[in-house]
């Protein structure tokens, strides 16, 4: 049985406006880390606020461990939900020490027990010796861990994280999210993370919930959503893609790039997603294409560190190819284009 359930939840901020969340249904299992992922305005933070109790749905129900938190005839206020939340700016109390920040939500415990609980949480996050520090004397990563310790200290059944790594620099973001995930998993915490960073979501979450215009577009493990996107929107948002119309015949499809192998089954007119890393560029010094490869011209090259992204013209189309940065291919270079991966049949209909 899911720990947390949202059943056809909808919310409009104005009666004449479009829904911020539109008929959203989602089930979260105990100890699961899920990421709500999507562009700005897709409803992911509103979904978090509905679970926290900061917003009340117009329709639908929010249920935690069989208890209706919000519904047609029920609404439990935030402080009674056993839901913790870490905001994007951490929202630490600037006039309180680290220890006092973490004990703030433990008022029901005797002071000695509250401090012992707070110290144990700080130890988990590697913050021993920081108890007397004030928030302004901490780094961004340390402030974030104090905020997490404060949210987890009361033992919430669900922890909500709203863009928790966005204010950190890129190197610190990677190391911090790995450490935070390790601690959360060691505690068996159930977590909902909101982010617009695809790499962060795939690295941090057990499951992705890709949202668009207040609706759930696709749910699945990071590997499944990336390798088998259902729609062009998901394919584009999660890593970029090339869209190709084709005619399917079982495990293949005829396209302008020739016959492509496909994931699953293709029949009739189809729209295919072909990831940029499923194409390979080879410098072309021959006057004719060899080995069945296609001729292409490099239009742009964007260096990305461990890889480079190329835009090429081939067969009357512009395609994106992700390859080795050391390839001697700049704008205007001739190249051979080879298909080295499989295409995915999308639910979208070809034009």
* Per-residue pLDDT tens digits for 238-289: 989 999 999 999 999 999 999 999 998 899 999 999 999 999 999 887 655 4
Query: Does the pLDDT of residue 105 top 50, yes or no?
Result: yes
Which residue ranges does the chain devote to CATH 2.40.50.100? 276-344
Residue 289: the pLDDT is 47
**Mean confidence (pLDDT) of the chain:** 92
* Per-residue pLDDT tens digits for 124-166: 999 999 999 999 999 888 998 999 999 999 999 999 999 888 8
CATH 3.50.50.60 fits 4-232, yes or no: no
Which residue ranges does the chain devote to CATH 3.40.50.300? 4-232
Q: Hey, what CATH topology would domain 276-344 get?
A: OB fold (Dihydrolipoamide Acetyltransferase, E2P) (2.40.50)
Alpha carbon distance 245, 25 (integer Å): 32
Find the range with the poorest average confidence among 91-100, 281-290, 302-311. Answer: 281-290
Strand order in the sheet with 308-314: 279-283, 334-339, 294-303, 308-314, 317-323
In what helix (H) or strand (E) does residue 204 lie, and over which residues does it extend?
helix 198-204
**Cβ pair 83, 158 in contact under 8 A:** yes
Average pLDDT (50-58) is: 97
Residue 52: the pLDDT is 96
Q: Note the pTM of the prediction, 2 decimals.
A: 0.89
Q: Which two tokens stand for residue 116?
A: 């012992």
Alpha carbon distance 217, 211 (integer Å): 5
Residue 87: the pLDDT is 85
How far, in whole angstroms, is CA 325 from its chain's centroid? 26
């Amino acid at each position: 049985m899911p720990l947390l359930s949202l059943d056809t939840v909808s919310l409009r901020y104005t009666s004449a406006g479009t829904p911020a969340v539109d008929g959203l249904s989602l089930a979260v299992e105990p100890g699961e880390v899920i990421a709500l992922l999507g562009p700005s305005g897709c409803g992911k933070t509103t979904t978090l606020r509905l679970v926290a109790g900061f917003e009340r749905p117009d329709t639908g129900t929010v249920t935690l461990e069989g208890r209706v938190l919000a519904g047609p005839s029920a609404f439990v206020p935030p402080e009674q939900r056993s839901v913790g939340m870490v905001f994007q700016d951490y929202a630490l109390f600037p006039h309180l020490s680290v220890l006092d920040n973490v004990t703030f939500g433990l008022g029901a415990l005797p002071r000695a027990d509250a401090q012992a609980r707070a110290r144990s949480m700080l130890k988990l996050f590697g913050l021993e010796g920081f108890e007397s520090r004030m928030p302004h004397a901490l780094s961004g990563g340390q402030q974030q861990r104090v905020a997490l310790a404060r949210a987890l200290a009361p033992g919430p059944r669900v922890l909500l994280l709203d863009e928790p790594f966005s204010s950190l620099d890129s190197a610190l973001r990677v190391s911090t999210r790995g450490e935070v995930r390790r601690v959360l998993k060691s505690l068996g915490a159930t977590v909902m993370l909101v982010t617009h960073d695809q790499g962060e979501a795939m690295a941090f979450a057990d499951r992705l919930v890709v949202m668009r215009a207040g609706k759930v577009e696709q749910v699945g493990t990071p590997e499944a959503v990336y390798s088998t996107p259902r729609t062009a929107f998901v394919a584009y948002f999660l890593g970029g893609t090339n869209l190709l119309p084709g005619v399917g015949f079982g495990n293949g499809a005829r396209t302008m790039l020739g016959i492509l192998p496909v994931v699953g089954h293709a029949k009739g007119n189809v729209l295919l997603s072909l990831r940029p890393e499923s194409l390979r560029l080879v410098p072309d010094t021959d006057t004719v294409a060899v080995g069945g490869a296609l001729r292409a011209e490099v239009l742009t090259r964007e260096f990305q560190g461990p890889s480079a992204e190329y835009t090429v013209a081939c067969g009357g189309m512009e395609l994106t190819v992700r390859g080795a940065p050391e390839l001697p291919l700049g704008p205007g270079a001739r190249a051979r284009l080879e298909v080295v991966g499989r295409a995915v049949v999308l639910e979208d209909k070809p034009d």
